[in-house]
Amino acid sequence: MAGWIDKVFELTPIEEHAGMYFKREDKFCPKGLFHINGSKFRQCLYLVDRWVREKGIKGVVSGSVSQSPQHVFISEICKHYGIGCVIVHSKKEPKKSSYLNVAIENGSKLVWNNVGYAQTLGSKAKQLLSKLPNHAYLETNITLDERFNSWDDIEKFHRIGAEQVKNIPSHIERLIIPCGSCNSVTSILYGLVLFPKPNIKEIVLMGIGNNGSNNIGYVETRLKHICKLKGIPIDDVFGFSFLSDDNARHKLEHVNLNGTGFCKYTDEMKEFAGQIEFHPRYEGKCIRYLKKNLKEYWNQKSLFWVVGSDMKFK
Domain boundaries, the chain: 4-34+149-306, 58-133
* Angstrom distance (rounded) from CA 233 to CA 222: 14
Taking alpha carbons only, the member of 258, 260, 279 closest to residue 269 is 279
Reported for 23-32, long-range contacts at CB under 8 A and 24+ positions apart, including other chains, are 23/164, 23/168, 23/303, 23/304, 23/305, 23/306, 24/276, 24/306, 25/164, 25/184, 25/305, 25/306, 25/307, 25/308, 26/306, 26/307, 26/308, 26/309, 30/3, 30/4, 31/76
Domains 4-34+149-306 and 58-133 share a fold: yes
* Angstrom distance (rounded) from CA 236 to CA 247: 7
Taking alpha carbons only, the member of 20, 13, 42 closest to residue 30 is 42
Looking at the domain that runs over 4-34+149-306, which CATH code has it been given? 3.40.50.1100
* Angstrom distance (rounded) from CA 279 to CA 292: 18
Q: In the chain, what is the straight-line distance between the N-terminal and C-terminal CA atoms, in Å?
A: 30
- List, in order, residues 6 or more apart from 128 with CB less than 8 Å away: 61, 86, 88, 111, 135
Three-class SS state of 82: coil
pLDDT value at residue 245: 64
pLDDT tens, the chain, 314 aa long:
558 999 999 999 999 999 999 999 999 999 999 999 999 999 999 999 999 999 999 999 999 998 899 999 999 999 999 999 999 999 999 999 999 999 999 999 999 999 999 999 999 999 999 999 999 999 999 999 999 999 999 999 999 999 999 999 999 999 999 999 999 999 999 999 999 999 999 999 999 988 999 899 999 899 999 999 999 989 889 987 766 667 889 999 999 998 888 999 889 999 999 999 999 999 999 999 999 999 999 999 999 999 999 999 86
With 0-12 CB in 10 A as exposed, 13-18 as middle and 19+ as buried, what is 99?
buried
Question: Per CATH, is 58-133 categorized as 3.40.50.1100?
Answer: yes
In the Cβ-directed half-sphere of 175, how many Cα atoms lie within 13 Å? 29
The answer to whether 292 and 255 are in contact (CB under 8 A) is no
- Predicted structure pTM score: 0.95
